[in-house]
Structure 1
Amino acid sequence: MARNPRRPAQPLSEHFGDLIRVALMEARPAGLHTVQLVAATRLKKSQVQRGIRHLRDVGAAENLTPVIWRRKDGYMFSDDPADWIEYEKKQLAQVLGRLTRMITGTLAPHLARCPDDEWAQLVSAQLTGVSATLAQLSK
């Protein structure tokens, strides 16, 4: 198929996102796991992941139904705000886990060895509040 020279080629992320969107719309209300999306779209796993990221970016920008992920269902579009909240809480819990590991594995030893370090004190003070907020939001 020849490309129209007056129209620029569609960016790959957008193309992958379009293929993923169509597959998820066809599967609705069910979801699709990555392996199923690979089969349905004939994309590579990395391309599926890139398409999902694009869909999330575009969805946020265009106020579309968000793409969520559940262990039992995979990726899906859901019209139920309770599903969105459940997904958001799990994402916040993951961020909290990563932040906690950074604090205990890097920042705490830094402060133990250099208790007067202004940078470490600033980071510690700021991240204490962030951690508390994330803990509350992920409940």
Structure 2
Amino acid sequence: MPRAARPLAEHYGDLVRASLIEARPAGLHTRQLVAATRLKKSQVVLGVRQIRDVAAAEHLTPIIYTRKDGYLFSDDPADWIEYEKRQFREILGRLTRMITGTLDPRLARYPDDEWARLAVAQLTGVRATLAQLTK
């Protein structure tokens, strides 16, 4: 019986993961991963996504990204926490802009809009939680 083909993203993830493990403790930027894996940039991006979605949890190797070092597998929990806080700050910024740029003006114009009021009420709680996680 022929073996079923693995999804391409899983294959790309394996190649990216192997390159990052080989580079440890250093990291690799996207262009370096392109060179190391001989994949296209879009394929490297899919590979990183596959690592984040599946492989990191399977192999217990959190992947982080820093501007200085690129993508890397760090064994230092302080690196993980700093990366997580940066991600939460980014999400908080996007959520805040959604509230102040879309929902607040909508409520100012239509104060009885039940859906917008519900959205603002719910998102205000999420916003407060994210603010705490970034500290």
Q: TM-score, normalised by structure 1?
A: 0.93
2:22 to 26, 37, 48: 26
Q: Is the 8 A contact 1:93 1:138 kept in 2?
A: yes
1:99 paired with 2:95, answer yes
Name the SS for the 1:133 alignment partner: helix
CA distance in 2, matches of 1:75, 1:86: 14
- Kindly report which structure 2 residues correspond to 1:35-54, keeping only aligned pairs within 5 A, or say none: 35-54=31-50
Q: One-letter code of the match for 2:78?
A: A
CA distance in 1, matches of 2:54, 2:121: 35
Tell me how far 1:64 sits from its aligned partner: 1.5
Tell me how far 1:85 sits from its aligned partner: 0.5
Alignment-derived partner of residue 57 in structure 1: 53
Alignment-derived partner of residue 11 in structure 1: 7
Q: Which structure 2 residue ranges, 5 or more long, are not aligned?
A: none
Tell me how far 1:63 sits from its aligned partner: 5.2
CA distance in 1, matches of 2:115, 2:66: 39
CA distance in 1, matches of 2:37, 2:106: 47
Q: One-letter code of the match for 2:48?
A: I
Alignment-derived partner of residue 74 in structure 1: 70
CA distance in 2, matches of 1:65, 1:10: 21
Q: Which structure 1 residue ranges, 5 or more long, are not aligned?
A: none
> What RMSD in Å do the two structures reach over aligned CA positions?
1.1
Question: Could you tell me the percent identity over the aligned residues?
Answer: 74
1:110 paired with 2:106, answer yes
Tell me how far 1:108 sits from its aligned partner: 0.7
1:90 paired with 2:86, answer yes
CA distance in 2, matches of 1:79, 1:59: 16
CA distance in 2, matches of 1:138, 1:49: 26
Runs of 4+ in 1 over 3 A off after TM superposition: none
